[in-house]
């Protein structure tokens, strides 16, 4: 099996992901601290927030997002005059987003539609037209001399967010080329499904951010499994390292043959900096 993703378009830019399976383990905290510490050392860094359903990196950096650029995708719109009520579109739709009763024109439910295009492809009358609808926004922020931030944000109500991540990353790779960054840090959503897979595609390496609890261990093993399937090498970042039971993560690390390379102790100062959107103060933690 050959899995390429979009690395070819990225050329030599190094892509590193911050991921973790479980939510709230500190993926964004690590991604932001990592980006800040490298940029402080004079490296040119692009941070790409691919948690498009709930993007937070800008809030941790304390920057305001300026006007964004919309991302559009095609959705079906029925041209009732051309429709012969054959029902083929409804049969082709795997998302059950097209409801059809014999003899009636079909009804399309946008909130279930993934925008795959099976309906307009199959329609013999070309009665289903494509209509561009915004599915998200891309924001670009120059945080400081060496640090750029790209934020992807899906439109609430959009079900398929994987394609939004794909467009956000494409733009990030363009910008990375334009300004000649040394590293592109990809901050992913929690979980392991399509939006996370899209974010991880083409990454050279992933940091799995987790916490020393049975929950952290369970979810870290799921994302490590995914990374193994994708052939991406990984390291573990243990956040809140001193709260809980470290051995549960050590066991997982051993079974997947990965190392715990970063440990961040629980710190009230870090929690405060996080909750005030001033993570920059904590850059010396890494």
CA–CA gap between residue 214 and residue 106 (Å, rounded): 48
- For residues 127 and 139, the answer to whether their CB atoms sit within 8 Å is no
3-class SS of residue 71: strand
Would you say 96 or 261 has its CB closer to other proteins?
96
Binding positions for other proteins, 34-63, rule CB under 8 A: 51, 53-54, 56, 59-60
Binding positions for other proteins, 119-138, rule CB under 8 A: 121-122
Q: How far is CA 95 from CA 75, 105, 121, 159, in A?
A: 13, 18, 15, 11
34 exposure class (CB count in 10 Å sphere: 0-12, 13-18, 19+): buried
CA–CA gap between residue 248 and residue 240 (Å, rounded): 14
Residues whose CB falls within 8 Å of the CB of residue 126, separated by 6 or more in sequence, listed in order: 82, 120
Longest dimension (CA), the chain: 68
3-class SS of residue 162: helix
Binding positions for other proteins, 11-30, rule CB under 8 A: 21-25, 28
Q: Does 4 bind other proteins (CB under 8 A)?
A: yes
Number of residues that bind other proteins (CB under 8 A): 71
Using the contact rule CB under 8 A, the part of the chain among 79-87, 100-108, 139-147, 186-194 near other proteins is 186-194
CA–CA gap between residue 146 and residue 128 (Å, rounded): 47
CA–CA gap between residue 193 and residue 19 (Å, rounded): 12
> Minimum Å distance from CB 52 to other proteins?
8
Binding positions for other proteins, 243-272, rule CB under 8 A: 243-245, 248, 271-272
Would you say 146 or 191 has its CB closer to other proteins?
191
Would you say 34 or 57 has its CB closer to other proteins?
57
E-assigned strand segments in 20-92: 45-49, 69-78
Q: Does 64 bind other proteins (CB under 8 A)?
A: no
Would you say 144 or 269 has its CB closer to other proteins?
269
> Minimum Å distance from CB 191 to other proteins?
3
CB atoms within 10 A of CB 157: 8
Of the candidate residues 15, 190, 237, 253, the single one contacting other proteins (CB under 8 A): 190
> Minimum Å distance from CB 228 to other proteins?
8
For the chain, the straight-line distance linking the first and the last C-alpha, in angstroms and rounded, comes to 37
Q: Does 194 bind other proteins (CB under 8 A)?
A: yes
Q: Does 233 bind other proteins (CB under 8 A)?
A: no
Of the candidate residues 49, 137, 187, 219, the single one contacting other proteins (CB under 8 A): 219
Binding positions for other proteins, 83-122, rule CB under 8 A: 92, 94-95, 111, 114-118, 121-122
3-class SS of residue 95: coil
> Minimum Å distance from CB 72 to other proteins?
12
> Minimum Å distance from CB 57 to other proteins?
9
């Amino acid at each position: 099996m050959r899995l390429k993703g979009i690395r070819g378009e990225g050329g030599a830019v190094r892509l590193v992901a911050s991921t973790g399976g479980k939510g709230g383990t500190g993926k964004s905290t690590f991604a932001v601290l990592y980006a800040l510490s490298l940029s402080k050392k004079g490296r040119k860094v692009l941070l790409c927030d691919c948690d498009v359903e709930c993007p937070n990196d800008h809030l941790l950096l304390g920057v305001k997002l300026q006007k964004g650029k919309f991302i559009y995708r095609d959705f079906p719109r029925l041209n009732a005059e051309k429709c012969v009520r054959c029902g083929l579109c409804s049969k082709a739709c795997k998302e059950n987003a097209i409801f059809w009763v014999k003899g009636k024109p079909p009804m399309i439910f946008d909130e279930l539609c993934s925008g795959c295009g099976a309906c307009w492809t199959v329609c013999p009358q070309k009665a289903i037209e494509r209509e561009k609808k915004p599915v998200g926004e891309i924001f670009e922020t120059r945080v400081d001399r060496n640090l750029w931030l790209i934020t992807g944000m899906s439109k609430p109500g959009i079900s398929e967010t994987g394609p939004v991540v794909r467009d956000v990353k494409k733009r990030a790779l363009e910008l990375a080329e334009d300004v000649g960054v040394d590293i592109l840090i990809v901050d992913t959503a929690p979980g392991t499904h399509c939006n996370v897979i899209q974010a991880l595609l083409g990454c050279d390496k992933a940091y799995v951010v987790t916490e020393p609890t049975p929950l952290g261990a369970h979810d870290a093993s799921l994302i490590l499994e995914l990374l193994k399937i994708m052939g991406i090498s990984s390291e573990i970042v243990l956040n809140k390292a001193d709260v809980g039971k470290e051995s549960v993560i050590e066991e997982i690390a051993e079974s997947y043959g990965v190392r715990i390379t970063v440990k961040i102790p629980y710190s009230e100062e870090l929690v405060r900096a996080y909750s005030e959107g001033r993570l920059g103060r904590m850059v010396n933690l890494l």
